[in-house]
Amino acid sequence: MIAGTGLALSDHNFIVNMYKEELLEEGIVRESKDGIAKVIIVDSNHCEECSAKIYCKPVSSNEKELIVQDKLGTKTGDIVLISVPGRKILLASIFLYGIPLLLLIGTILLGLNLFENNKELLSTISALLILTVYFILLKLFSANLPFNQATSITEIVHKS
């Protein structure tokens, strides 16, 4: 069972529902230029439980910043509704947690079989180096990844 959901781990509906889910949040446009907007979202009680918090960049203790697609031509100060599709959250989670875990385990296992002396030490160092390279590449190419192009402004709630 998945705690608090009543679903069994074998129940594929959990993944299907996550894939179809869409998270909506209200925020204030800080800056908008060339179809991209920086939107400030004030921390609320549900931020800790939010599955999309991997998208938010902390600006202060109670504010988060999102960089989103702006197809509506918003202006600074506009209050907007932001949409994050569940499939993009799932994809981001795979890139940020799943792939690094597989790289870590795979590199350690490979290192244990390849190295003759100091197997554990060299395997661990190799795994850390591979993860460092992966995260540097992820950072360099993150703008082109599909999960980063997911968040968009769906509605202008109030114009400034």
pLDDT at 9: 46
Pick the range with the lowest mean pLDDT from 12-21, 116-125, 150-159.
12-21
Mean pLDDT of 123-145: 89
Per-residue model confidence (pLDDT) at position 15: 47
Q: What is the pLDDT of residues 72-94, one digit of tens each?
A: 888 888 888 887 777 777 888 88
In Å, what is the CA distance from 30 to each residue of 33, 76, 127, 133? 10, 5, 40, 33
Q: Which residues lie below 8 Å from residue 115, measured CB to CB, with a gap of 6+?
A: 122, 123
Residues 1-25: pLDDT tens digits? 344 444 444 444 444 455 567 777 7
Distance CA 102, CA 94 (A): 10
Mean local confidence (pLDDT), 22-39: 83
**96-119: b (≥16 Cβ within 10 Å) or e:** eeeebeebbeebbeebeeeeeeee
- Averaged pLDDT, 51-80: 74
pTM recorded for the entire structure: 0.64
Q: How many residues are present in the chain?
A: 160
Which strand (E) or helix (H) includes residue 85?
strand 79-85
Of 54-58, 77-81, 118-122, the poorest mean pLDDT is in 54-58
